[in-house]
Structure 1
Amino acid sequence: MTRSIAATISNTPRAMTSHLIEVLGLDLAAKVLAAADPRTVTRWASGVHVLRREAILIRLGTSYQAIAELEEVLSPRQIRGWFTVSNDAFDYRSALELLDGDDPQLARTRIVKAAAEFVAEYQNEQSNADDGMS
């Protein structure tokens, strides 16, 4: 998880927004960032408009950090699924629903933790599978 924290701290909201669009696609990135119009997200990514609202910045940091974790083991398509499919770690809601419904700080904690745990579990399973093939 240290890598995802460092990546989040070292990037600007503009760069993080661009990466969200790259990985999630514009429509899902807009939903993750609670933007009614996807063009708004494009403006944030291009620097035409500056992203300042705290709640959206928290959503951006949360999503960016989770993506940084998940990119270690998943493709962009799989990451999109991780954000939109119900997850037992979120009481059978999706990460997107958690972002929409909970306190932003609580959602951040739960989403980033679930992403890190998913990656650790995936890597452990891969390691065990590799050990079984030896």
Structure 2
Amino acid sequence: KEQDKNFRSAIQLENYKLRERSAENTDPNAFDLVHPTNTQTFVLKTECEKAAWIKAIRESIMSAEIPITDLCVIHVDKGDKIPLGYTPIQESYYGHTGNVNAEGGGREIFICYERGGLDKDNKPKAPITNIALVFTDNGSLLKRRAP
């Protein structure tokens, strides 16, 4: 399971580069996966392993280029289901739970996202370009201001 977790974290590659021949490792099959905060060295012993690794990296990069077009929140205890075409965020970038209410000790609440969806007219949805988070812990209501 730890190896799977390392692999999943390794292929989140927007900021990663694959560099041959690690400076710290003399093995000619060693690769460094370089990230600003975390560099890992993997030894790929066969051409098959190398090809599989590079394929996984390319697929990850390709899927990252498809913009996120919608977000939704699901409440597990209320029986909410993940909408078709959406992906739940089950784990954070740093390996923490994706349950956004985990610290609250209450209900499980997850955020789901959709990439490249279609609108009701079957046209591509516009990508999300901004998100605002508003915390109202005192029960106040949000009202739209007149321009």
Name the TM-score, length of structure 1 as normaliser: 0.26
Q: Which protein has greater RCO, CA pairs closer than 8 Å, 6+ apart?
A: 1
**TM-score normalized by structure 2?**
0.25
Report the structure number with the largest CA radius of gyration. 2
**Whose strand fraction is larger, Structure 1's or Structure 2's?**
2
